[in-house]
Structure 1
């Protein structure tokens, strides 16, 4: 409960789904209810086994749960370092009830007060005129027990904003360890991840900023649910515990346990303005509801949903990815395990589409077979993405019914891997005889269908380096107007001797690639973008000038694993690059990440030279 314990693993347990009048001010959505003490006891033991030391009973309104004193006793007996309660406090007006909670082992109480004035309190909560008096009586009962720590949450809403200084001064006399000014959460996770209108936050923020110097006289002030940069020099008072405190959220009715960061941190988008910010570690970034109010900043290059589930069509020799030692290609193609939380998906789509027009759906190249893919595509479009691209091998695109169903769901295009300009080259890399011919038939069907775009990507390998110019020529002839993304080969495994040997066996040297592309007339007849190549090499491959977008690779990326869990990857991913001696004096150095360390171990600096001014 104590903000000083941010690094202590905690669990927020939602005992009830019954709101109580202040639940709308809580940062934790009320969903589900514990059926009884037996279910709760199992959950508490499980949490202790996971190393959780701080347990917080919340709701809904937890004092409406009939077994709360026994729940506190169970938590205390289980050995939790701190047992806390977040409440509107009205039930605590019963002195005997309060005494029972303290005897059971209650260590801390966080009170939620939407106002210190009876009429405003009643209006905000929908409770009767006596409600504020009951809550204050509950607070005074807790104060009789000096060992019980007290905290306060003041929801920053229109009804309170104009009276904020008076409220803080009033409550400052009750000896709270902290007073939290709580701004509204960015999503209503109960409403399927619906985006909340955060206009009120930005409307009230100037008044809060103006009042902060005076508020600090009355207690330790904390801001919750706001980006530190918006508070300027007061950014250090931002807690953002909902976003940054490691822990879990536990709901009843099956004791669902969800990592707290899943609720919000994976939904935030970091813009270029966030790079280097000293608050980055405890700030989730911006949300969909923020987009209309923050200063303009470059959006992420793209957004992506990575469905890491199921098998892979190809058995590419350069790919070492596996599941428990079984290569993806060998997995059962009919088995899928993931069932992502659709509410969180909706919130992620809403947030990302506020900063980017494009969504890529990745996976193991069988995303067109993922269960529920049509609903996911439709949801992405409904949330505001103008373009949704499905990354797939293209082996099943000859099926017109499949194309029609995907287009109806809202798909706008495909991205297809091709590893050479001939059947021999492509099939050798994929270890899948006949795959090139199937892709060509799919492209013919796609062209005849006429409603979906096709773009392509390839990986530069020793095995296919000489055939890549033929791939450019093939796509120019067959798919005019398409784009080819040319990737530097890299390993996404921890480095060890075996991984290093595999890397050395696959990565071509830059001189070989540059010589192969030299036979193509510049500028290239097809749009080709590079990824992970040094800028000087990219320019020599593709010709000058090279638009900055060719090397952009900033993503808002959500990954769904085989358990259906969602987590956010790091934006602006790095691949172990560094600048070398040849980079000195290069005018493009500031925009270039450099050369991969693993590449340098294999091929050295050959082929690296400064860009011409």
Structure 2
């Protein structure tokens, strides 16, 4: 299999992970946050209980990873208990998506690691206070997040895997190389550059913050071409594969396949077969897959069927197409 196909192979061979929703509270106020409708999500996210976590963990053999996410997990006092439950269930990878601020407190970090946490995805969106806090809109967040990353890096020797997530915007796009060098110097194993999903606040502030895919791909190519580290441990995620053909295949990332469970909501008909995915001891939960949330918002055109990546490509956000159309997207022969 040649290099062009290997990213497709990685996508096709990935195993799913399960997300456990920890709430709607967050101590940052990011301008691109996908969860703009926190009131609307409150009922769903706040429904996570010890009982529902226990039921989900009972299915852990189906998943490669259990990830605690949604809102800021460290604001939920039950998080250490749920991590411990996952460890006792024998889950291999127990992870958390976090802004990392609470990790700056060593006692708390040690408690999470002792409970079973072994993989971190820390959100940091710039290499300077001005850049990061201009996007999080939260004074003091940069120093705390960086301290949290440094604290986590100290415990990598005990098996903790440390990744970061940087949401690509018009503001930080010119600084990819600086952000990468900065984070690697602080012990980060993988630097992930996440292209925005055009929903929530990313849609509200689209014109101010969302670069085009062509601009992102060009900046990524320039950064990777000049990067002294080969291969660079930088990955560009959630950008259509047809726009990144000039990037080294190693650096072409993708959003992992995931699912979560939430109470059935008769008011929102995401997919027709939700009833067939009733879960929990009494059918009080329903499985929601990432594709359920994305399919209605992403689109393909007939020409996409001729692309070598069509089988694994998820299409383009409708909100993006309404602004820029299809001109950027050429099927890969």
CA contact (8 A) 2:163 2:188 kept: no
CA contact (8 A) 1:427 1:433 kept: yes
Q: CA deviation at 1:572?
A: 2.8
Partner residue of 1:403?
109
Partner residue of 1:357?
64
Partner residue of 1:102?
none
Q: Counterparts of 2:312 and 2:53 in 1: how far apart (Å)?
A: 33
Partner residue of 1:460?
168
CA separation of 1:591/1:568 partners in 2, compared to 1, >3 Å: closer, same or farther?
closer
Q: CA deviation at 1:361?
A: 0.3
Q: CA deviation at 1:422?
A: 2.6
Partner residue of 1:229?
none
Unaligned 5+ runs, structure 1: 1-296, 329-336, 494-498
Partner residue of 2:125?
419
Normalising by structure 1, report the TM-score. 0.43
CA contact (8 A) 1:338 1:560 kept: no
CA contact (8 A) 2:122 2:149 kept: no
CA contact (8 A) 2:32 2:200 kept: no
1:610 maps onto 2:311 in alignment: no
Q: Counterparts of 1:595 and 1:509 in 2: how far apart (Å)?
A: 12
Partner residue of 1:383?
89
Q: CA deviation at 1:382?
A: 1.5
CA separation of 1:417/1:539 partners in 2, compared to 1, >3 Å: closer, same or farther?
farther
Unaligned 5+ runs, structure 2: 1-11, 265-283
After superposition, what is the alpha-carbon deviation per residue over 1:435-464, rounded to whole angstroms, capped at 9, x for unaligned? 222222222222223433221112222333
1:318 maps onto 2:32 in alignment: yes
1:308 maps onto 2:308 in alignment: no
Aligned length in residues: 292
After superposition, what is the alpha-carbon deviation per residue over 1:294-345, rounded to whole angstroms, capped at 9, x for unaligned? xxx9674211101223x211112233624449x99xxxxxxxx947443332
1:544 maps onto 2:241 in alignment: no
Q: Counterparts of 2:89 and 2:110 in 1: how far apart (Å)?
A: 21
Report SS of the residue matched to 1:315.
coil
Q: CA deviation at 1:418?
A: 1.3
CA contact (8 A) 2:197 2:317 kept: no
1:511 maps onto 2:230 in alignment: no
1:554 maps onto 2:261 in alignment: no
Q: Counterparts of 1:584 and 1:569 in 2: how far apart (Å)?
A: 26
CA contact (8 A) 1:475 1:526 kept: no
Report SS of the residue matched to 1:601.
helix
Q: Counterparts of 2:224 and 2:166 in 1: how far apart (Å)?
A: 20
Q: Counterparts of 1:545 and 1:409 in 2: how far apart (Å)?
A: 33
CA separation of 1:596/1:529 partners in 2, compared to 1, >3 Å: closer, same or farther?
same
Q: Counterparts of 1:401 and 1:560 in 2: how far apart (Å)?
A: 34
CA contact (8 A) 1:530 1:538 kept: no
Q: Counterparts of 1:415 and 1:528 in 2: how far apart (Å)?
A: 13
Partner residue of 2:287?
568
Q: CA deviation at 1:479?
A: 2.4
Report SS of the residue matched to 2:132.
helix
- Give me the CA root mean square deviation: 3.2
Q: Answer 1 or 2: higher relative contact order, Cα 8 Å, separation at least 6.
A: 2
After superposition, what is the alpha-carbon deviation per residue over 1:264-286, rounded to whole angstroms, capped at 9, x for unaligned? xxxxxxxxxxxxxxxxxxxxxxx
CA separation of 1:524/1:486 partners in 2, compared to 1, >3 Å: closer, same or farther?
farther
Q: Counterparts of 1:534 and 1:582 in 2: how far apart (Å)?
A: 14
Q: Counterparts of 2:198 and 2:170 in 1: how far apart (Å)?
A: 13
Q: Kindly name which structure, 1 or 2, has the bigger radius of gyration based on alpha carbons.
A: 1
Within the candidate set 363, 368, 389, 2:74 is matched to 368
CA contact (8 A) 1:308 1:559 kept: no
Q: CA deviation at 1:515?
A: 2.5
CA separation of 1:559/1:484 partners in 2, compared to 1, >3 Å: closer, same or farther?
farther
Q: Counterparts of 2:171 and 2:231 in 1: how far apart (Å)?
A: 22
CA separation of 1:339/1:545 partners in 2, compared to 1, >3 Å: closer, same or farther?
closer
Q: CA deviation at 1:432?
A: 1.6
Partner residue of 2:196?
488
After superposition, what is the alpha-carbon deviation per residue over 1:508-527, rounded to whole angstroms, capped at 9, x for unaligned? 11222122223223465114
Report SS of the residue matched to 1:368.
helix
Partner residue of 1:10?
none
Q: CA deviation at 1:426?
A: 0.9
CA contact (8 A) 2:234 2:251 kept: no
